[in-house]
Amino acid sequence: MLRAFVIILLFLFIGEGIQTMVSLSIPGNVIGMVLIFVGLQAKLIKLEWVKPASDSLTRYLALFFVPPGVGLLLHLSLLSQYGVPILLTVGISFLITLASTAYVFHLSQKPK
């Protein structure tokens, strides 16, 4: 378990490092995610080395989003200032994105 955490944190560290050095707009944790996948695929690291930590971390992913989500509190006045048109724009666009992505995949699956 400890080894698994160390490896995952190392990949996060490398990802953050690359992000700072190249000043990419892609966040360091996403770079770390791509790198660890490449590392596994290239057999540089073994699945058993990282699986214990990755299983428990991803089990609680939703929980880790709660504190940043509470940050909405800071933007309540900004949101209410712009109000309904913003919520409508974002809401409808969310529905379009969700449905079109899933639907394109769904259609591409059907035999011709």
Partner 1 sequence: MFFISAKSLNDMLIGVLLTLGIFFLAESIYQKTGFLLLNPVLVSIASIILILLLSGYSYESYMEGGRLISFLLGPSVVALGVVFYEKLQEIGASLWRLVLAVCLGGGMSILSTWGLSQIMGLSQEVSASLLPSSVTTPIAMGISAQLGGIPSLTAAVVILVGIAGAAFGIPLLKLIGIQHEIAWGAGIGTSSHGIGTARALEESRLCGAVSALAMCLNGIFTSVFSFPLVRLMEYLGG
Binding to partner 1 (CB under 8 A): which residues in 76-95?
78-79, 82, 85-95
**What is d(CA 79, CA 87) in angstroms, rounded to the nearest whole number?**
9
Cβ 24 to partner 1 shortest distance, Å: 9
The single residue among 2, 21, 105, 111 that binds partner 1, judged by CB under 8 A, is: 105
**What is d(CA 112, CA 109) in angstroms, rounded to the nearest whole number?**
9
- Site pattern 27..56 for partner 1 (x: CB under 8 A): xxxx-xxxxxx--xx-----x--xx-xx--
63 contacts partner 1 (rule: CB under 8 A): yes
What is the phi-psi region of residue 27: left when phi exceeds 0, alpha when psi lies from -120 to 50, beta otherwise? beta
> Judged by CB under 8 A, how many residues of this single chain contact partner 1?
72
Among candidate residues 40, 32, 25, the one with its CA nearest the CA of residue 9: 32
20 contacts partner 1 (rule: CB under 8 A): no
